[in-house]
C-alpha cells in the first residue's frame, strides 16, 4: 500500500544523474539508466533486435 501511495502523493525520490528526470520507484530509475549504458538484455528471435 505504501508503494502505491507514491503515485498519488507525487513522491519522486529517485533521480537520474544525467537528465535529472525523477521517478517514484527505484526499479523505474534502473530501467531508465539502462538506456544510458546501452545494456540491452532482451533479444528478439524474430527480427534480431535487442531491447
CATH number of the domain at 22, please. Answer: 3.30.160
Can you list the alpha helix ranges (DSSP code H) found in the chain?
2-9, 26-37
Q: How many domains does the chain have?
A: 1
Name every residue whose Cβ is closer than 8 Å to that of residue 26 and which is 6 or more positions away in sequence.
14
Q: What residues make up the domain containing 5?
A: 1-37
pLDDT at residue 48, as a whole number: 93
Residue 44, phi then psi, degrees to nearest 5:
-85, 120
**Strand residue runs (E) in the chain:** 14-15, 22-23
On whether residue 3 sits in a domain, the answer given is yes
Q: Taking the model in full, what pTM does it have? A: 0.61
Residues of the chain below pLDDT 70? none
pLDDT at residue 49, as a whole number: 92
Whether the CB-CB separation of 17 and 27 falls below 8 Å is answered with: no
Amino acid at each position: 500500500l505504501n508503494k502505491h501511495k507514491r503515485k498519488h502523493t507525487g513522491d519522486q525520490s529517485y533521480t537520474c544523474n544525467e537528465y535529472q528526470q525523477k521517478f517514484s520507484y527505484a526499479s523505474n530509475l534502473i530501467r531508465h539508466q539502462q538506456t544510458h549504458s546501452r545494456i540491452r538484455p532482451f533479444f528478439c528471435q524474430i527480427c534480431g533486435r535487442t531491447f
